[in-house]
Amino acid sequence: MGKNVKLKDIARELNLSKTTVSFVLSGIGDEKGISKATQAKILDYSQAINYRPNQLAQSLTSGITNTIGLIVPSIGDAFYAKLVKEIEKEAEKRGYVILISSSERDSRREMNLIYTMRAKQVDGLVIAPTDNCKKEVEKLLEDNFPFVLVDRICLELDTNYVIIDDEESSYKLVRNLIDKGRRKIAFLTTDTKGSAILNRAKGYHRALEDTGTKLDRSLVKEVPRENYSAYTGDILRELFENHPDIDGFFFAAHYLASETMLYMYKNGMDISSFGLATIHDNPVVEALAPNMSVAKIPLDVMAGKAVNILWTNMKKKGVNEMSGTVIPAKIVIKD
C-alpha cells in the first residue's frame, strides 16, 4: 500500500496540510514548531500504511538529505576503519547515512572529495584532515558549512574538532618508561607536520626534560608514512648499530609499533627486554608485545562527540558554533 501513497493522501486522511506532513517526515517537525502530538499522529499513520517517501523529492522540499560525508586518510587503516564504524553507528541513531571516502593523505584529493560531497548535498562533513588542510577548511568556515574535524586539527584555524590529549598521553607513557629505569628511549614517529604527531613529540620531549633525561636526537627517527613498512627495517637496523644499548621505544603510531615488533621477532630479539609504549594498539602489538604500554583511544567517545557537535551545527543551518573537544586516552601500563 505504501508504495503508491503520496504526501497529499496522508495529509487528506489526517486533515493536515501537505507541508506539515512533509516537514514531519523530513525530520524537521521540531524545528518547524509542529506539536509532538501531531508528529506522532503522522509518523504512526505513515508506519501503519508502510509509507515509503520519495527521498529525492523530500530533500528538494526540505533542503535536507539525511546524509553526512565522512573523509578519512585511509579506510584500510585499522584505526580509521574502527572510527568509521563508530561514526556510522552514531549517525544512524539520528537517522543519517554516511558517505565514506579516503583522502589517501593527499590534500588535493581531500579538497576534491569535499567539493564532490557538497555537490551531492550532504548535510554536514566529518573530516580527519590531511596536514595541508588549511585552504579547504577555510572555505568551509567561510561558507558556514557544518563540519567537524576528528583525530587531528587544522593548525592556525579555529574550528570544531574532537581529538585525544596526544601530548599528555605521550608524556605519561614516556614518563612511565623513565620512572621504570629506561634511559635510552628511541622515538619512532611519522608525518611530523600533522597536529597529532606534533603533540605526541611534545609529550616525549617534555617527559625527558621533566626527568632530567638528556635528549639524544639520533634516537628520534621519522619514518615516511607512504610505504612505511619498506623503510622501518632499515631505520631500526641503523638505530641498533649506532645504539646497541637502546632500552626503550616510544611509538607515535600503532603501525610503527607493529613493524618494530615484527622486526624484533624475525631477528630473534628479546622483545620483553625493552620498555615499550605506543599510541593506540592492534592485534600484532598485543600478540608480540604483551608488555607494551598503550594509550587506548576511545573511538566510541570520539565518534559520539563528533556526531553530536555536527548535529548541533546542522540544526542551526549556517551558523557554526565552534567547539573544541579534547578527550583523555585510557593509559594502560603493562611493563
166-296 shares the fold of 7-62: no
Query: Is residue 305 within 8 Å of 297, Cβ to Cβ?
Result: no
> Quick one: angle between helices 55-62 and 18-25, nearest 10?
100
Q: Is the pLDDT of residue 172 over 60?
A: yes
Question: What tens digit of pLDDT does each residue of 30-56 get?
Answer: 778 889 899 888 888 887 887 766 654
Q: Examine the pLDDT at 141 and tell me if it is beyond 80.
A: yes
d(CA 122, CA 77): 24
Instruction: Evaluate if pTM is beyond 0.85.
Output: no
**Looking at residues 224-234, what average pLDDT do you find?**
87
End-to-end CA distance of the chain: 64
Which pLDDT score, from 0 to 100, does residue 318 have? 56
The domain locations on the chain are 7-62, 67-159+299-326, 166-296
Q: How much is the pLDDT for 57? A: 52
Which residues make Cβ contacts (< 8 Å) with residue 227, sequence separation at least 6? none
Position 105 pLDDT exceeds 60: yes
Q: Is the pLDDT of residue 309 over 80?
A: yes
Tell whether the model's pLDDT for residue 70 goes beyond 50: yes
**DSSP 3-state of 275:** strand
Question: Which of 44, 57, 56 lies closest to 8, judged by CA?
Answer: 57
Q: What is the mean pLDDT of residues 257-265?
A: 95
Report the pLDDT value the prediction gives residue 99, as an integer from 0 to 100. 92
pLDDT score recorded for residue 53: 62
Q: What is the dihedral of CA 330, 90, 31, 66, to 10 degrees?
A: 140
Cα 197 to Cα 239: distance, rounded to the nearest angstrom: 21
Dump pLDDT digits (tens) for 270-298: 999 999 999 998 888 889 999 999 999 99
For residue 1, what pLDDT band results from cuts at 50, 70 and 90? very low
Q: Of residues 65 and 263, which shows the higher confidence score?
A: 263
**Residue 84's pLDDT is what?**
95
Asked whether the predicted pLDDT for residue 266 surpasses 50, the reply is: yes
pLDDT score at 5:
74
Pick left, alpha or beta for residue 291 (phi over 0 → left; psi -120 to 50 → alpha; otherwise beta).
alpha
Query: Is residue 134 scored above 90 in pLDDT?
Result: no
Q: What are phi and psi of 160, to 5 degrees?
A: -75, 140
Section 103-127 average pLDDT: 90
pLDDT for the residue numbered 55: 53
Indicate whether 65 pLDDT > 50.
yes
* pLDDT (0 to 100) of residue 120: 84
Furthest-apart CA atoms within the chain: distance in Å: 83
Residue length of the chain? 335
Crossing angle, helix 299-316 and helix 78-93, to 10 degrees? 50
Topology given in CATH for the domain delimited by 7-62: 434 Repressor (Amino-terminal Domain) (1.10.260)
CATH of 67-159+299-326, picked from 3.30.1330.10, 1.10.760.10, 3.40.50.2300, 3.20.20.70, is 3.40.50.2300
At 316 the three-state DSSP class reads: helix
Residue 181 has pLDDT above 80, yes or no: yes
Instruction: Return the pLDDT at 121.
Output: 86
For the domain made up of 166-296, the CATH class stated in words is alpha beta
Share of the chain above pLDDT 70, in %: 93
Per-residue confidence (pLDDT) for residue 319, from 0 to 100 = 58
